[in-house]
Homo-oligomer: A and B are copies of this chain.
Amino acid sequence: MQYKQLDKTSVIDYLKNVKEVMNFFSSEDIEADEIGDGNLNYVYIVKSIENPLKALIIKQAVPYLRCVGEEFPLDRKRMTFEIRALKKFYNIFPSFVPKIYHSNEDMSLVVMEYLSNHIIMRRGLINKIKYLNFSEHISTYMASTLFYTSSLSLNSSDKRKLVDKFNSNYELCKLTEDLVFSFPFMEHETNDNENTKDNPLSAKLFSDAEFKERVLCLKYKFMTQSDALLHGDLHTGSIMINKDETYVIDPEFAFVGPFGFDVGALLANLVNNYIHHCIVTKDEEFKEWLLQTIKETLDKFNQKFLKFWSECNDSALLVEGYLNDESLKNYKNRFIKNILKDSVGFAGCKMARRIFGVAGVEEIRGIKDATLRDEAETLSLKIAREFIMKYDKINSSDEIVEIIKNAW
């Protein structure tokens, strides 16, 4: 099928030929509205006219960066990787991924479950909503998606076949390399240059050679360490949530990369939110809940990852009978600690890039008061630097929480 960019009329014509969608609505009386936040893709909600609660989401990629326009080309093949990742993650653990009703790689289009009772987690956290099931849910999501797409679970050729399916996500990998690991730490046209100008904070960051050398090590790891299939952009804006349920969406950055990158992205975004509450709301109780959530998420991730591993005796890595039980336990404990260390390193990069890089984060760049925003930026860079300088020495979630608490 040849690619064609749809609009809210032609999307209906398209869907009327999709059996799974027609089965869902059991009527051709449907209508579409565009609801995309408009950064990358077009997003439509399609509803039954008779029963508007019955709805599906249609997401289509266009061959350019939508928020800039056609003059900024961006391969619509990114949707291919999003489709593949959504299906893969859904197959591993369906509770945390929206159900896919239809997908079409040629059309760069996916039709999925409408999450009507959920909001973007970042919004919820800014509004001090506590999600008491979150650490339980997200730790299961991360431990299962990472473990079951790694060489600790797959056999050798299935792992390489998985790499094949995602390896040509060139453009979005390159975006991360540039926008997370390089440009935000040097003079660059893509930066938020109104803020970098005459700012002692950016001057200090850009000349912090020790910090930047360590970021470079983490960038190299991001580029060359093929541990597992990552979401690739696991921040709180990629999570739809309510008190009972947690869904991870938008895995268009998916590729086979280092374990710690997803865990680190989540950690960074929880810390960004904590910083917001330190500076803006000063809500001690909510801050405490955030720290506890960070600790619980990391500890549960650790336990669940090891549990999945304990159920798998034969994989690309391990031949049954190769190591005795005690050595195997030692090996696994060191392995999971290394994931924790890397997660802290990647979290540091992910936090620091939000200060002067092109993509800010609402909790910090969104602070209107310049003095408060400056305080938040200072605190964020302080924690990020501690993370980057100490990540390979970290041995427990407690040490991470200590770094965060002691910075303020």
Residues of A with Cβ closer than 8 Å to B?
A: 151, 156-157, 159-161, 163-164, 167-168, 170-171, 173-174, 177-178, 182-183, 185-187, 209-210, 212-213, 216-217, 219-220, 223-227, 316-319, 321-324, 326-327, 330-331
Contact = CB atoms under 8 A, between A and B. Distances in A.
Closest 6 CB pairs of A and B: A157-B170, A209-B327, A156-B174, A182-B319, A224-B226, A213-B331
A178 to B, nearest CB: 8
A225 B223 contact: no
A182 B322 contact: yes
8 contacts: A156-B173, A161-B168, A163-B163, A186-B321, A210-B327, A212-B327, A213-B323, A216-B322
Nearest to A208: B327
B223 A224 contact: no
A322 B206 CA distance: 9
A323 B321 CA distance: 47
A167 B226 CA distance: 12
Contact of A209 (B178, B316, B324): B324
A393 B314 CA distance: 31
A156 B183 contact: no
A187 B324 CA distance: 13
A182 B151 CA distance: 14
Nearest to A151: B223
A317 B224 CA distance: 10
Name the residue among A225, A317, A326 with the largest chain B CB count within 10 angstroms: A317
